[in-house]
Amino acid sequence: MNSFILFFILFSLWLLMSGHYNLLIVSLGIISCVFCVYVAKRGKLIDDEGLPIFFMPRLLNYLIWLFKEILKSNLSTAKVIINGKVEPETFTVKTSQVTDVAKVTYANSITLTPGTVTTKIQKGVFEVHALNSDFGDDVRTNEMDKKVTWLEGKK
């Protein structure tokens, strides 16, 4: 099933980017997408982590929330830099995600929001560096952790 979904995604993207729809070109597109799926299957790259389909139903909602948080964090970071009140801190935060792809999504989401960087991932605990303690408080509230766990579909 994952192979079919991967083929559908690849071929859809190929059609969108190609712009040429005659028989020869479309046939070559099908052949190249089948070959890519074959190579991915032989390389054992098609699994729940390599193609996280379980994210798809909730992904748009999560991305909208994440972009809103990135915007708010950008404004806060700019304010801290302009005021010159930089008080960096490093702290740890526990994760509640089960799959590795969800843990990486959480770590990347922390890093994407300006003012915070995930510096270490070890056994369900992240080490986070924050530009200011306010940014650390935002991570410690576990709102993002809950959102990523919801995205994962486990809670």
pLDDT tens by residue, 51-106: 566 667 788 888 898 999 899 889 988 988 898 888 899 999 999 988 888 898 89
Print the domain residue range for 141.
55-152
Q: Is 50 within the bounds of a domain?
A: no
* 30 and 94 belong to one structural domain: no
Per-residue model confidence (pLDDT) at position 35: 96
* 133 and 95 belong to one structural domain: yes
**Mean pLDDT (whole number) for 5-11:** 89
Per-residue model confidence (pLDDT) at position 41: 86
* 34 and 77 belong to one structural domain: no
* 37 and 72 belong to one structural domain: no
* 60 and 94 belong to one structural domain: yes
What's the rounded Cα separation, in Å, for the pair 36 and 56? Answer: 21
Backbone dihedral region for residue 142 (phi beyond 0: left; psi -120 to 50: alpha; all else: beta): left
**Mean pLDDT (whole number) for 32-37:** 94
pLDDT at 33 over 90: yes
Instruction: Quickly tell me which residue has 């059609």 as its tokens.
Output: 15
Tally of domains within the chain: 2
Per-residue model confidence (pLDDT) at position 36: 93
**Mean pLDDT (whole number) for 123-147:** 87
**Mean pLDDT (whole number) for 42-49:** 74
What's the rounded Cα separation, in Å, for the pair 5 and 64? Answer: 24
Asked if residue 5 lies in contact with residue 51, where contact means CB atoms within 8 angstroms, the answer is: yes
Q: Is 122 within the bounds of a domain?
A: yes
* 16 and 87 belong to one structural domain: no
Per-residue model confidence (pLDDT) at position 154: 65
What is the reported pTM? 0.69
Task: Give the rounded percent of residues in the chain with a pLDDT score beyond 90.
Answer: 34
pLDDT at 11 over 90: yes
